[in-house]
Amino acid sequence: MSLDSRGEKARVFFALWPDAANAARLHAIAQQWHRSLGGRVTREDTLHATLVFIGDIALDRLQSLLDLAEGIQTPSFDIDFDARGCWKHNHIAYLGMRQLPEALQNLHFELAARVGEAGFSIEKRPFSPHITLIRKAACDNAARDISINKNPAEPVTWMVRDFVLVKSSIGANGSRYEQIGRWPLLEDKPTS
Ligand code: 2AM
């Protein structure tokens, strides 16, 4: 991809991306919910949790996002996606977390600060990490469905070892996501 194409724009965001095993677990949950909620299940290969949403930017500004991500020095962490929900205002059925890990909050804060300092305008809504499992969901059915509200399944525990920058475009089969950068988080050093 050319980073200096004049006038061209890209829709971008930083995200956490599950490994194949967790993506498969998340997808299985989505398919189970789909029976009562209907709507459109997120494709398995596009499941993610947005860290910092940037939106449309000129392509020639992508490089500064790649550069600022290089300097992130925050530790890796585990998260439990253990909260199920369905937002009525946008019909999104999602998995979130009951407790926001401090390390995740710090990673979001650090990235958002750098993105802001680099001159991008970023989303001002409070950080609400989630994985969208279904769009156009019939959320009213979620309240009646014990599999969503009263009978929480095992959490999907996710070892977060890196984060990615994603470029999204709309294609015939829905959103197409291309990972254009991936950065490791700091690993705990083994004690000797
Ligand atoms: P969603 O799944 O809740 O729609 C690509 O669109 C990713 O960016 C999705 O995870 C989407 O969240 C998120 N996203 C889209 N618009 C956003 C916005 N204005 N603020 C924060 N996140 C947004």
Q: What is the pLDDT of residue 3?
A: 45
Residue 186 is classified by DSSP as B
Structural domains in the chain (count)? 1
Q: What is the pLDDT of residue 162?
A: 97
Q: What is the pLDDT tens value at each position of the chain, 192 positions in all?
A: 444 445 688 899 999 999 999 999 999 999 999 999 999 999 999 999 999 999 999 999 999 999 999 989 999 999 999 998 999 999 999 999 989 999 999 999 999 999 999 999 887 778 999 999 999 999 988 777 655 554 455 689 999 999 999 999 887 777 789 999 999 999 876 555
146 Cα: distance to centroid of ligand 1 (angstroms): 27
CB 32 within 8 A of CB 26: no
Distance between CA 127 and CA 100 in Å, rounded? 10
134 Cα: distance to centroid of ligand 1 (angstroms): 13
Substitution site in 43, 50, 168, 175 for ligand 1 pocket (most atoms within 8 Å of beta carbon) = 50
Q: Tell me whether residue 62 is in a domain.
A: yes
CATH number for the domain harbouring residue 30: 3.90.1140.10
Q: Is the CB of 87 under 6 A from ligand 1?
A: no
- Non-local CB neighbours of 122 within 8 Å, separated by 6+ positions: 52, 53, 54, 112, 115, 116
Q: Tell me whether residue 27 is in a domain.
A: yes
Nearest-CA residue for atom 21 of ligand 1: 53
Q: Is the CB of 13 under 6 A from ligand 1?
A: yes
Atom of ligand 1 nearest to the CA of 13: 8
Q: Tell me whether residue 146 is in a domain.
A: no
Q: Is the CB of 123 under 6 A from ligand 1?
A: yes
Q: Tell me whether residue 118 is in a domain.
A: yes
Q: What is the pLDDT of residue 4?
A: 44
Q: Tell me whether residue 3 is in a domain.
A: no
Q: Tell me whether residue 86 is in a domain.
A: no
Global pTM exceeds 0.85: yes
In 3D space, the residue among 168, 149, 121 whose CA is nearest the CA of residue 17 turns out to be 168
